[in-house]
Each structure stands twice: as C-alpha cells, then as structure tokens.
A and B are shown apart, each in its own frame.
Chain A
Amino acid sequence: SSELTQPPSVSVSPGQTARITCSGDALPRQYTYWYQQKPGQAPVLVIYKDTERPSGIPERFSGSSSGTTATLTISGVPPEDEADYYCQSTDSSGAVVFGGGTKLTVL
C-alpha cells in the first residue's frame, strides 16, 4: 500500500520538542518529504530525502526514518511553528502520495 498515516494533531508547549510521525509500508524503499503549511499559505518544503534540510529552513527542523516510520522533529518549538505538517512520498510508479496532515498546536 502507498498510503501514509499521520496523527491528526500534536500539541507541545513553547520551547519543547515536537515529533510528528508518518507511517507507510513503502517508506523503507522511498524517501519521505515534509511540508509546513500555515493558514492561507502554500506549503513549504522543510525536509527532503528523509533528513535533508533546504536552505533557509531553520536548524530546529530535522528528519529521520526507520523502517516504515518517518519522523519530523522540531526542537525548541517557537509559537510561529504552529501549522499543519504533511509528509509526502512516492510509490513505485512515481505517483505522489501525501499523508493526511498533522496539526501542530503550540500551547
């Protein structure tokens, strides 16, 4: 299956570490990508190829992947990181698949 499963919501206090997971049977064979989307805005790529961070993305964003689960970690979360986060991968035919999204709340 090429489906990706994310928790609907994650809550943290400012300054804590947030971890958002993405599970899928194909993840051992395919890279995971992560996007941040704030209300009314287009998504922004924050992690590519499981662990790489695009230029301009703060170092507090990191990614990892093990087996069928990929994880986006945000260290020392500031209030402005409150957003929806989506994981994305591809299947064997090259088709793109998105996870359902996780709403990160910074209380």
Chain B
Amino acid sequence: QVQLQESGPGLLKASETLSLTCSVSGGSVDRPNYYWSWVRQPPGKGLEWIGYVYYTGSTNYNPSLKSRVTMSMDTSKNQFSLKLTSVTAADTATYYCARSMSVVVNFESWGQGSLVTVSS
C-alpha cells in the first residue's frame, strides 16, 4: 500500500518561495499511469487542487496558480516536489500530496498534510 509524506518548512514570510517535498513509499513515482498531485486547504476552508506531475515530467497546473507553481520529480529519491513563488498570507494552508491512478485525476491516496503558515 502506497504511503505519502509531506515535508518542508512550516513558516514562511511574505514574498518567499514555498518548497515542499512528498516522499513516496510502497510504490514508485516513475511508473506509468500514476499522477502525483498537490492539493491545499486553507484553515476552515475547502480543497483546492494545485496541479500534478506525471512520471514523464509533464505537468498540469491550476490556471489560477500556474504563474507561480513549479512541480518536479526526483525518481532517485522516489519523491516529487512543489514550489510556489511570491507567497502571501492567502497561501497559508495545509498542503497535501496525493496520488491518482487515472489520467482522469482523482485521489485514492493522500499524505497526512503539512501546514504552511505565511506571515506578513
């Protein structure tokens, strides 16, 4: 059974770059048909998809965040990562990594989430 674990700084200042890594165990990130996503949830609010990276390195980002988002994979470490530039307080959220086994992306496996707070 695949397990996902987010890691990264929990506190950032406005204008900095958010960097998170998702470590995957029980499965390989470089297998076909798996789409590796980031989803975030501001405190007390709903879910927002950020984007996904495929094992080929291709990506698909939420249009509302596309200008600030970069996702990549490190197959040697069985990890994938998220970078979000120029953060503001509105980026304060719990960030989840998640896996889809379908090109019609849906999330059957999730990490436990990592709270990132942006201070102004």
Interface residues of A in 20-55 (CB under 8 A from B): 30-31, 33, 35, 37, 42-45, 48, 54
Which of B62, B106, B111, B112 has the most chain A CB atoms inside 10 A of its CB?
A: B106
A56 CB → nearest B CB, Å: 11
Residues of chain B lying within 8 A (CB to CB) of residue A33 = 106-107
Is B21 on the interface with A (CB-CB < 8 A)? no
Whether B104 pairs with A43 at a CB distance below 8 angstroms is no
Q: Return the chain A residue nearest B113 by Cβ.
A: A42
Whether A90 pairs with B47 at a CB distance below 8 angstroms is no
State whether A97 and B49 are in contact (beta carbons under 8 Å apart), knowing that A42-B96, A42-B111 are contacts in the complex. yes
Residues of B within 8 A of A (CB): 37, 46-49, 52, 60, 62-63, 96, 103-108, 110-113
Residues of A within 8 A of B (CB): 30-31, 33, 35, 37, 42-45, 48, 54, 86, 88, 90, 93-101
